[in-house]
Amino acid sequence: MLKRTLILFQLLGFKVGIDWTWPFLALLIVWSLAMGVFPHEYPDLAKDTYWMMGISGALGLFGSLILHELSHSLVARRYNIPITQITLFIFGGVAHMDKEPPNATSEFRMAIAGPLASLFLSVGFYGAQTLGHLQGLPLPILAVLGYLGFINLVLAVFNLFPAFPLDGGRMFRAALWHWKGDLRWATQLASRIGSGFGFLLMILGVLNILHGRPLNGIWFCVLGLFLDRAASASYDQLLARQTFEGEPIRRFMTTQVVTVAPDLSLREFVEQYVYRHLHDVFPVVNDSQLLGCIHARQVNRVSRQDWDHRIVKDLLTPLNDQNTITPDTDVMQTLSLMNRTGNSRLIVMAHDRLIGIVALKDILKFLSLKLDLERDR
């Protein structure tokens, strides 16, 4: 499991990070603005000016997306819904929740906060553009303010479409949930509509490409594909939460733990343990005392020529709250920790004693069987 998110800073107590897809989006936005939008709307400016406008527009959009997701997070905090972090990815952002909203009302209020924030930003940027005209600000500044006013209006309107997991889809799910009192049924129906909306966008993308608008077509296709995948993933995530709700990790841990000695050479470690057991994390034990753990990927940092001269102890990782859990830890908390740290195996300890190890693949295997049996019920 790869750690896909880079944490940038904290804002009002929430971690803000970017997904690995965000740099690609940022470059595409800057290029689109500098080479297409601004030259078309405001001709005869210097080429460097267009690039500065493009960069400014992308940074403004970056900030707007953060404020959009921050509004969701602040409402969630009011309802005691844990938000671990805000992540910007290829088509917007997401506030990571450790659990579902407690009721339909909180879901609706949390969902509508985002579009309202974007609408407020749109009014603010358009207002700033109007004042800028009166103050005689340079055209490039006015153009960027106008773009940010327009793009926030687009974000507000687009997110109101009843396609899960867009904000409008979450509002639609909240209405269904309130009507039937069944969160799972509401999520399933809203997810299917979200997938259908994604396919519609992909069809529009193909039509745009066929009619000579390739850039618009690519945007529609990629966005449609993303929405289709996100809708299915959101439903599966709900099923996972319902499946593992209240389940302690002791049910999924392995008590027959393969450990290694601290004085083992790296070559022996790789050949006798990594290649044999195919694990990526091994507890390091000396005379029944747990010293820490070693990750197989750490060996990559050591030259192969030195494997005979270096020992496991040289790469020892101390035990901490990033690689250990207790047997009573909730499964969803365990999965959240694995996602944040990139560790697919965690050491299970009780009273400073090694009692087992839990692997992501074992949890996912159980979940896969559960979903196959109960998905359409």
Q: What is the pLDDT of residues 187-245, one digit of tens each?
A: 888 888 888 888 898 898 888 888 887 777 887 887 788 778 777 777 777 777 777 77
The 10 Å Cβ neighbour count of residue 146 is 20
Predicted local distance difference test score (pLDDT) of residue 222: 78
Predicted local distance difference test score (pLDDT) of residue 1: 37
Predicted local distance difference test score (pLDDT) of residue 142: 94
Query: Residue ranges per domain, the chain?
Result: 5-160, 181-245, 249-374
Tokens coding 129 = 């553009």
Torsion of CA 49, 52, 57, 58, to 10 degrees: 140
Q: Which residue type occupies 363?
A: I
Please answer whether residues 223 and 201 qualify as being in contact, where contact means their C-beta atoms are separated by less than 8 angstroms: yes
Tokens coding 142 = 């006015």
Predicted local distance difference test score (pLDDT) of residue 83: 76
Enumerate helices (H) and strands (E) in the chain, giving the number of each. 12, 9
Question: Rounded distance, CA 168 to CA 190, Å?
Answer: 10
The 10 Å Cβ neighbour count of residue 181 is 11
User: ∠ at Cα 68 (22, 77), nearest 5°?
Assistant: 115
Predicted local distance difference test score (pLDDT) of residue 223: 79
Q: Alpha carbon of 290 to those of 22, 253, 316: distances in Å?
A: 40, 17, 11
What is the CATH number that goes with domain 249-374?
Answer: 3.10.580.10
Global pTM reads 0.70
Which residues are paired to 281 by β-bridges? 295
Predicted local distance difference test score (pLDDT) of residue 261: 92
Taking every pair of C-alpha atoms in the chain, what is the biggest distance, in angstroms?
A: 78
pLDDT per residue over 149-196, tens digit each? 999 999 899 889 888 888 888 899 899 988 988 888 888 888 888 888
User: ∠ at Cα 271 (270, 272), nearest 5°?
Assistant: 100
Question: Rounded distance, CA 30 to CA 332, Å?
Answer: 38
Low-confidence ranges of the chain (pLDDT < 50): 1-3, 377
Q: Which residue type occupies 199?
A: F
**92-115 b/e with 16+ CB inside 10 Å = b?**
bbebbbeebbeebebbbbbbbbbb
Predicted local distance difference test score (pLDDT) of residue 118: 93
